[in-house]
Amino acid sequence: MAAMERIENTQRYISGDDLERPRSTERRSFLGYAIALISTSIASVLGITIGRYTIGPAFSSSGTSEWTNAGLLEEIPEDKPTKRSLVISQDAGWGRMNTQKLIWIIRKGNDLTVFSAVCPHLGCTINEAADGFICPCHGSAWNAKGEKVGGPAPRNLDVLEYRRNGDILEVRYRSFKQGVASQEVVS
């Protein structure tokens, strides 16, 4: 008889009749939910961080619109083209790069004209000539006002924005599309 009772109890346990659920199942469910919540939180934080690092720079604006110090105004001679070197800082996705760009400055009294030293034809560096500027690569020439007087260059010299900050000259350097008649800003 005792054996029969044992068999019936075993059958009831297997079928779940008249038995309460063991407490360990409830704890396991809670721990499973807690682990899933923690794992989801960690994955979300990592996903956002990695996403901002890899995709974010593609949507950020470049830092090329900054004003760059071109030196003291008193150091620019009157009526003589002066070549200056600017260090331009640019955000390039994941890092900041510094590049050196050349400009020409002409001063007439309080008036200044700032030209890019990049030839609008193919991007060679423009040099000073006796009556203005010349491109040593293909022979394009400009007068002292930056107006084209000869050669294959499609337009006048590219004029850059400047401002006076006390006794310091600041220039907003821009790169322009080469080989086209109109002045189109690239960066």
| Domain limits, the chain | 2-54, 67-172
Dihedral sign, Cα of residue 186, residue 164, residue 99, residue 180: positive
Residue 90: exposure state from Cβ atoms within 10 A (0-12, 13-18, ≥19) = middle
Among candidate residues 174, 185, 177, the one with its CA nearest the CA of residue 64: 174
* Residue pointed to by tokens 């800082």: 89
Q: pTM value?
A: 0.60
Band of residue 96 on the pLDDT scale cut at 50, 70, 90? confident
Q: What confidence tens digit (pLDDT) does each residue in 156-176 have?
A: 888 888 888 888 888 888 888
Contact of 181 with 152, CB cutoff 8 Å? no
Q: In the 8-state DSSP scheme, what is residue 91?
A: E
Tokens representing residue 168 in the block: 């310091």
What CATH homologous superfamily does 67-172 map to? Rieske [2Fe-2S] iron-sulphur domain (2.102.10.10)
Among the residue ranges 75-79, 92-96, 120-124, 175-179, the one predicted with the least confidence is 92-96
* Predicted local distance difference test score (pLDDT) of residue 137: 83
Q: Which H or E run includes 111?
A: strand 111-116
CA distance 94 to 91: 7
CA distance 11 to 66: 82
Angle at 103 between CA 183 and CA 71, to 5 degrees: 135
